[in-house]
A and B are shown apart, each in its own frame.
Chain A
Amino acid sequence: MLREVPLFGALAPSLLLYFLAALLVFVIVDRLVTRLGFYRLLWHPSLARFGLFLCLFSALVFST
């Protein structure tokens, strides 16, 4: 849960970087899950994908 990250000597709020990192992780997980056919088991795949991203994003923030 870093509050700020050093960027070339300046400290910036960390949320944007977390967002980008979470996006990267999400793309990988999303492809994996799609290949396994997990989304076909669900009701609204796009809603589930959104929820999955939020989970990854908040888990990333609170785990570091």
Chain B
Amino acid sequence: MKALARVVATLLIVAAGGLGAYELWNYYMLSPWTRDARVRADVVTIAPDVAGFVTDLRVRDNQVVHKGDVLFVVDRARYELAVATAQANVAGRHAEMVMRESDANRRKKLTNLAISDENKEDSQHVAASALAAYQQAVADLSTAKLNLERTVVRAPVNGFVTNLGLVVGQYAAVGTQLLALIDSDSYRVEGYFEETKMPSLKPGVRVEIHLMSGGPALQGHVEGISRGITDRDNPNGPQLLANVTPTFEWVRLAQRIPTRIHIDNVPDGVLVSSGMTCTVVVTGQSREWWIASVVRDRFR
């Protein structure tokens, strides 16, 4: 009897230890969390639509800007002159058109004794041509006004100016990127989860985000899971033929699937900056649920 008690007591201790080790394994190896996650945000690179010297810089580095705020102004003089030229052109074309129209109207009333049919028709066509030329001048004026308007560069989104290197006097060519604006409405987390942890990730599942900088956790939820990553063992070779790498790995590493996580709320005083490292822990499902789902999938 005493011998049996000795055996049972020993086995109980070992069983408790085994259970703890099993839970540890589940916790570290199977539970859906990743240390490999980054804060991301959309960056709008601002490029002017018209060329010229930057005459007025209205923002400082790291400044908060709202949609529609003026960022900088390109030298307006040239574009004001262009508008004046276009206006003069419109006036000239208008005068020309009026003259040609009155000519045509007068000739239409004359009999064939005074003017030939050909001359009559010609005067009609010349008047039509003058009208077209006037319309073109009006369109050119609109373009000149648009260019003048575009010398004032405005923020297309709410956000933050970052890494500002632009200075007054710099020449801005059309389409060259001068300034980066981080869209403050687009902050999100990209979690790179191992593919073994996919079963417990579904859109809508709640997660906690722990920034590397510490502080309270951010709340979020899974917004979407990437439906494709590159197959690194099969790049296209020349002539579009498959080029399968002839390796067999004894140890297979789980690949990472990017998972987009929406940040639901940021506690006061927590700074979120694009590029930050963070840890994402799925909290939405109970531990029993994911252990059950993993076990179910293993033995199916």
Docked-complex contact A44 and B10, CB < 8 angstroms? yes
**B13 part of interface (Cβ distance < 8 Å):** yes
Q: Is the CB of A43 within 8 A of B6?
A: yes
The answer to whether B9 touches A42 (Cβ under 8 A) is yes
A42-B6, A43-B7 known; A11-B212 Cβ under 8 A? yes
Q: B14 to chain A: which residues have CB within 8 Å?
A: 47-48, 50-51, 54
CB within 8 Å for A58 and B23 given contacts A44-B10, A50-B14: yes
Chain A's closest residue to B11 (CB) is A43
In the complex, A41→B8 CA distance in Å?
11
Nearest-neighbour CB distance to chain B for A25, whole angstroms, equals 14
**Contact call B9/A54, Cβ cutoff below 8 A:** no
Residue A8 at the B interface, CB < 8 A?
A: no
Q: A15-B28, A61-B24 are in contact. Are A54 and B7 (CB under 8 A)?
A: no
Contact: B18 with A41, CB < 8 Å? no
Q: How large is the interface on A (under 10, 10 to 19, 20 to 34, 35 or more residues)?
A: 20 to 34
- State A4–B6 Cα separation when bound (angstroms): 39
User: What is the distance, in angstroms, from A1's C-beta to the closest C-beta of chain B?
Assistant: 8
Q: How many chain B residues touch A (Cβ–Cβ < 8 Å)?
A: 24
Main secondary structure of the interface of A (DSSP, over half): helix
| Interfacial chain B residues near A58, Cβ < 8 Å | 17, 19-21, 23-24
The CA of A44 and the CA of B10, in the complex, are separated in Å by: 7
A3-B10 contact in complex given A50-B17, A57-B24, C-beta closer than 8 Å: no
Of all chain B residues, the one with the shortest Cβ separation from A10 is: B212
> In the complex, A51→B13 CA distance in Å?
5
Residue of A nearest to B14 (CB): A51
Q: Assess the B6–A41 pair: CB atoms within 8 A.
A: yes
Please judge, given known A-B contacts A55-B20, A58-B23, A62-B23, whether A42 and B212 are in contact too, CB under 8 Å: no
B14 to chain A, nearest CB (A): 4
Cα A54 to Cα B7 in complex, Å, equals: 18
Name the residue of chain A whose CB is nearest to the CB of B23: A58
The complex places the Cα of A17 from the Cα of B14 at a distance, in Å, of 23
A11 to B213, CA, bound (A): 10
Q: Which of A13, A48, A57 contacts B13 (CB 8 A)?
A: A48
Is the pair B7, A55 in contact by a Cβ cutoff of 8 Å?
no
Return chain A residues, CB-CB under 8 Å to B17.
Answer: 50-55, 58
- CB of B33 within 8 Å of the partner chain: yes
**For the complex, what is the distance from the CA of A51 to the CA of B11, rounded to whole Å?**
9
Q: With A and B bound together, what is the CA distance between A3 and B6 in angstroms?
A: 37
A21 in the interface (beta carbon within 8 A): no
A4-B35, A47-B14, A50-B14 given; A57·B6 CB < 8 A: no
Hey, which bits of chain B sit against chain A, CB under 8 A? 3, 6-7, 9-11, 13-21, 23-24, 27-28, 33, 35, 212, 279, 281
Q: Which A positions have Cβ atoms within 8 angstroms of B?
A: 1, 3-4, 11, 13, 15, 41-44, 47-48, 50-55, 57-59, 61-62
Minimum-distance CB pairs A-B, first 9 = A58-B20, A54-B17, A51-B14, A51-B17, A51-B13, A43-B10, A43-B6, A43-B7, A55-B17
